[in-house]
């Protein structure tokens, strides 16, 4: 039984570490925790039975819990929380922690551990999860003294949700979770020695940036996930409009600048838009805003942005400045604050970019995203276009990883920040559907659509159980081409069609699988069927799985092959 709290003479309360943990999480405004119990976490789970205010969602795998917490965090801007037991429970979180770390997602990950009395003896389900995850967390805490727990929880949320955001681990031994403490809420502002969450930007650097913009005739902005996480979309649009600078948004930056805006160029990089890539290659000034110059954006580094006389980099993390690409102008600080500072000068801007914008418009008109449509086959690009049209671009869309992810980035037009939830840096299969569950719980009044491939869906299909039990109305899309599509495409183009281990024959009937979990399942293989069943799915106030059967041989274009530059794009059989 969980212990009973009793008031102290000073109005404080005696309670167990487990009870204090839940109290601390509620004090941080946590409205849902995703998790999976086990022996060494049982004091924590026992405390939940005596705390009706504490909401916990039991996933069917720890992987589902950490990805759901991730989707919740990305879609709401709040810090996601997940809990797992020791040993395999904790290690099952590792991929999800790495996914959040790569994409700078704020999460507090709580793991139980074996009692301190048996640590180091290879006790049952013992794993040094702090050491295992140290390279993929912003910070890790091992709770030795229960009296430190309230402070640690408060610090963990501060670290996870400030500066360059990321996951923080709290590891709690079983005996510590049952130890008793005189609980006292941690109040007031917390300061951590040596931790500067948001360094103030040097105004001189902003002045230098504005001078470079004023002198430029062919500027371009690359806006990444950092602009979204900083809630800087309004400032980004105001800056681009004032100086008439075109904007390319990375995969994680999609939605951070409205795709309907005349200055938007599309996504740059490996499967990016022709206009975006050509803008980068011909720009005289390149401005990165919250983008880390990932290799999928730059491709061959020594041929990246060869005509840029100056490169400016705005980022909250000084470690990113100059890491991959030289930075002639470095603006270190919170992106929203930096852009506000850049917008302060009352002097009107006199842009010199009219001819440049006209040239880029010609690129857009000549080489838009397109595909060879068919009246006999259901093309995946058509499916994404249909989903966009029927949701008016207003849905929160989560994706797994692969061809469907790139088609979603190309053909679904995002106009709002935090409306695309996808694994960028880690490229984690199995992420798409559980992250949609977290996004739906964090945004109960929004339509959430989870777009998955038939490969990734099988890494997380068990989470359909909780959608059915709790009536979480995610619309689950499976783009089924019966193959590991992105691997196949690379083997086709770069390995002379030597196909190896890509055949997903023997996959389940996804409609029957959904029905086995108690969810409506629908299937389409023609345009007419696709329109009809998708309308049925949208009109169903409950979770629905929709399987779209598409050709196996459809590829994602444009494509820039590894080792080539952004202007060496393969346009496919629909290009000129």
Residues catalogued as catalytic: 62, 124-125, 174, 486
Quote the CA–CA distance of 544 and 326 in Å, as a whole number: 48
3-class SS shares of the chain: helix, strand, coil, % to 5? 40, 15, 45
Quote the CA–CA distance of 385 and 114 in Å, as a whole number: 51
For 14, the token pair is 């005696």
Of the candidates 115, 129, 32, the one whose C-alpha atom is nearest the C-alpha of residue 73 is: 32
For 134, the token pair is 């140290």
397 secondary structure, DSSP code: E
What are the residues whose beta carbons fall under 8 Å from the beta carbon of 321, sequence distance 6 or more?
313, 315, 327, 330, 332
DSSP for 222-278, written as a single string: EE-HHHHHTT-HHHHHHHHHHHT--EEE-TTTTTSS-TTSTTEEE--STT--HHHHH
Longest dimension (CA), the chain: 81
Quote the CA–CA distance of 396 and 422 in Å, as a whole number: 11
Q: What's the CA angle centered on 549, arms 546 and 551, to 5 degrees?
A: 150
511 to each of 148, 475, 516, 545, how far by Cα in Å? 50, 13, 9, 7
**Contact 167/160 with Cβ under 8 angstroms?**
yes
- Label residue 149 exposed, middle or buried (CB < 10 Å: 0-12, 13-18, 19+): buried
What are the residues whose beta carbons fall under 8 Å from the beta carbon of 449, sequence distance 6 or more?
387, 391, 395, 396, 397, 398, 436, 474, 475, 477
For 541, the token pair is 């106030």
**Contact 186/149 with Cβ under 8 angstroms?**
no
Q: How many CA atoms lie within 13 A of 358 on its CB side?
A: 5
- How far apart are the two ends of the chain, measured CA to CA in Å? 71
């Amino acid at each position: 039984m969980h212990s009973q709290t009793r008031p102290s003479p000073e109005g404080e309360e005696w309670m167990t570490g487990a009870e204090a943990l839940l109290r601390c999480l509620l004090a941080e405004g946590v409205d849902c925790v995703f998790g999976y119990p086990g022996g060494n976490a049982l004091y924590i789970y026992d405390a939940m039975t005596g705390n009706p205010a504490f909401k916990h969602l039991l996933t069917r795998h720890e992987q589902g819990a950490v990805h759901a917490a991730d989707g919740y965090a990305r879609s709401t801007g709040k810090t996601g929380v997940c809990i797992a037991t020791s040993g395999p429970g904790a290690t099952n979180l590792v991929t999800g922690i790495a996914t959040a770390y790569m994409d700078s997602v704020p999460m507090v990950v709580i793991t139980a551990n074996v009692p301190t009395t048996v640590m180091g003896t290879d006790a049952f389900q013992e794993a040094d999860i702090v050491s295992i995850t140290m390279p993929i967390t912003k910070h890790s805490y091992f709770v030795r003294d229960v009296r430190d727990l309230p402070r640690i929880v408060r610090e963990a949320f501060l670290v996870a949700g400030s500066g360059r955001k990321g996951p923080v681990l709290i590891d709690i031994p079983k005996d510590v979770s049952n130890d008793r403490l005189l609980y006292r809420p941690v109040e007031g502002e917390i300061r951590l020695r040596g931790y500067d969450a948001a360094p103030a930007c040097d105004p001189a650097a902003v002045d230098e940036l504005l001078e470079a913009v004023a002198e430029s005739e062919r500027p371009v902005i690359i806006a990444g996930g950092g602009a979204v996480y900083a809630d800087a979309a309004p400032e980004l649009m105001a800056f681009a409009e004032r100086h008439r600078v075109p904007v390319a948004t990375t995969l994680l930056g999609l939605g951070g600048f409205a795709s309907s805006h005349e200055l938007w160029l599309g996504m740059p990089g490996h499967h990016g838009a022709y206009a975006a890539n050509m803008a980068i290659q011909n720009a005289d000034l390149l401005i990165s805003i919250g983008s880390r110059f990932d290799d999928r954006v730059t491709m061959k580094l020594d041929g990246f942005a060869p005509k840029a006389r100056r490169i400016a980099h705005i980022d909250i993390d000084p470690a990113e400045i100059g890491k991959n690409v030289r930075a002639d102008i470095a603006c270190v600080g919170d992106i929203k604050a930096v852009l506000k500072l850049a917008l302060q000068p009352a002097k009107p801007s006199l842009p010199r970019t009219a001819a440049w914008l006209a040239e880029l418009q010609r690129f857009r008109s000549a080489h838009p995203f397109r595909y060879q449509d068919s009246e006999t086959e259901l093309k995946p690009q058509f499916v994404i276009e249909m989903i966009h049209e029927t949701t008016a671009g207003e849905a929160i869309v989560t994706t797994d990883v692969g061809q469907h992810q790139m088609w979603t980035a190309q053909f679904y037009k995002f106009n709002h920040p935090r409306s695309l939830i996808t694994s960028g840096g880690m490229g984690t299969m199995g992420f798409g559907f559980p992250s949609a569950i977290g996004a739906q719980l964090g945004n109960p009044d929004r339509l959430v659509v989870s777009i998955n491939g038939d490969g990734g869906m099988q890494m997380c299909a068990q989470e359909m159980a909780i959608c059915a039990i709790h009536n979480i109305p995610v619309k689950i899309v499976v783009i089924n081409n019966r193959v590991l599509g992105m691997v196949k495409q690379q083997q086709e183009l770069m390995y002379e069609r030597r196909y190896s281990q890509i055949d997903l024959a023997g996959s389940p009937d996804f409609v029957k699988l959904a029905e086995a979990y108690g969810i409506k399942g629908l299937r389409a293989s023609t345009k007419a069927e696709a329109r009809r069943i998708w309308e049925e799915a949208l009109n169903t106030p409950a979770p629905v799985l929709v399987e779209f059967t598409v050709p196996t041989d459809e590829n994602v274009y444009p494509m820039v092959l590894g080792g080539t530059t952004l202007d060496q794009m393969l346009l496919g059989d629909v290009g000129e």
